[in-house]
Structure 1
Amino acid sequence: MTDQILLPGQAAAPAGPADMTMMYVLHHAFRRDLRDFRAIVEGVAADDQAAWGRLRERWGLFTSELHTHHTKEDEILWPLLAGRAREAADLDSLRVLREMEAEHGVLDPLLTSCDAGFTALAAQADPDVLGDLRDDLAELDAALDRHLGHEESAAVPILQRYVAGEEWEVIEREKFRGRPSVGHARRFLPWIFKGLGADAADRVLAIGGPGMRLLLASSRRGFERRERAALG
């Protein structure tokens, strides 16, 4: 059994051989970002196009990472687990995996609505659009948190049942993390470390090794400067 990490807001950390640290850290980043966006849009005036332009750019980082994560789950993880559940005639697990895919579909139109709101406000003032954006962000926040909690409490146990620790390490490293460009790593790394406690950060750095430490050190200051400009 691997000692599992449990981060603020996380619904569960089911026991098993696979180390789910990187998935849970991503979930933490998604929850954190939506909380931050909801807070900042309450205080930005509808006619502050410069602020909305910065927020639209920062929103793009969030949506890009969320889309990439969900696409990899839909194309790699859920089919793998479904195949093994079918072999075991595990109907309950197959039902949960179908629910995971359906929940991704629920999130997509909410993301599209928020995209449109940020884009419109960056172009011109519109108090009605701002009101809609606040509502859409609240709905997205609730829907995403439900989905992540469902995944943590119901889908991760399926992974722990059917995927050995060594196999998951290879899948996570080669299929999920892959070989990102230096440019992407310099955007992604300080983003996932934002708001992590020291113990969790040390755990992620132990997984990533010296290369991650160097890229994080070289990119963190610029990221924090941009964060202050966009999110305060």
Structure 2
Amino acid sequence: MTANLFPTTYPTGQFILAASTCTYHIPTSSIVLVHNHHSPSTPRTSWNWFLPRGRKDINEPIHAAAIRETSEESGYTPTLLATSHNTLQPGSEEEHAEAFHMQLIPYFKRTGVRMYVAFYYLATIAEATRAEDYGSRFDGRHEAGYESEVVKIEEAVELLSGGRYVLRGGEVYDVVEKRVVGVDGVAEKFFEVGVVVRGWREVQRHFAKAEGQRL
């Protein structure tokens, strides 16, 4: 029997719950990204790009945390999108807004391993207009350099991977290995590339289905 790499149980004080969104602007086939500590003289792909994400507050529902963190870090307030994406939760025959992806990030302290658990939700914005007071709700020094943009899905893949991946014919292409790797072949440290592409495919399926039902 193979030993567990990390503990399988975590008492309170040894885990963190966090939430994020893939927030798409459907009319322009774009998504909301955040970056920080950039220099205008360096290539955009060298900046630190990421999906807005953060810890949930006490007594705050996890999906509400996803909306709040996206609004605070990006200046865009999303609306969660109910789709028919696959989930193991009971009652999934109907469209739902359950988490679309989950990430586990172990980190090590002198007292042992702690686990950061992040849930990702599908969401949209009707207008690609950032709040005028953007930045006023930044919390902590680490957010002081944050800046947000609404970028095309194709560019998002490049930015989130530092130029390692691009979209070719809707598939993820590895520039280094010079081959199509698909969303399942993306390196773990660039996992948000896979989340964005999977999410976009689900959003497209959702609206194509809705359009077909109207015809």
- More strand by proportion, 1 or 2? 2
Structure number with the bigger relative contact order (C-alpha 8 A, sep ≥ 6) is: 1
TM-score range, shorter chain: under 0.3
**TM norm structure 2:** 0.24
**TM norm structure 1:** 0.23
- More helix by proportion, 1 or 2? 1
